[in-house]
Amino acid sequence: LSLYSSPARETKYVEKPQTQLEEGVSHLRHLMEPYTAWCQVSCFSLSHHINALCSDLFSEGCEFLQNPPPGFYPRLGVVGFAGIVGLFLARGSKIKKVVYPAGFMGIGASLYYPQQAVAIAKVAGMHLYDWSLQGYIAVESLWKDN
């Protein structure tokens, strides 16, 4: 029991009227609701497919590393060592620190897998030729405009 008497409280909840901005946002949210639901469903489906794909790739990679072809680990060691040598030789600029290890690893891998290296070189050469041709056309068009 309290020593002091407290008056009875009569409280009422009064809701503020919505402003025009709040009404506009509410209307927009109701209009966009089917699209957001579709996006949520498609994103869930896409994430499910991506998770399944990643788990398949991971399991295949683990299986490959558990039962590698003969001579795989020595080849992997040589390619990795070539990357470390490239990193050691790349002193100075940051571009060298990217180009040298990748180049040395590419050379080391091409020694063991020459057919795949030739196929990659052909595709890369075609892309490089296309890019250089696009650059030449862009520079030529700028030159003619002036």
Residue 30 lies in a domain: yes
Q: What does the pLDDT look like over 66-83, one tens digit per residue?
A: 898 898 899 999 999 999
Domain presence at residue 129 = no
Residue 19 Cα distances to 23, 24, 25, 104, angstroms: 6, 9, 10, 66
* Tokens matching residue 81: 């060592």
As a whole number of angstroms, the distance between CA 145 and CA 16 comes to 63
What is the reported pTM? 0.50
Answer whether residue 96 is part of any domain: no
Distance CA 83, CA 89 (A): 10
Report the distance separating Cα 15 and Cα 22, nearest Å: 14
Residues of the chain where predicted confidence (pLDDT) is lower than 70: 1-3, 7, 146
Residue 27 lies in a domain: yes
Is 51 part of a structural domain of the chain? yes
Inside any domain, residue 75? no
Is 127 inside any structural domain?
no
| Number of folded domains that form the chain | 1
Query: In terms of residue numbers, what domain contains 47?
Result: 18-67
Domain-embedded: residue 34: yes
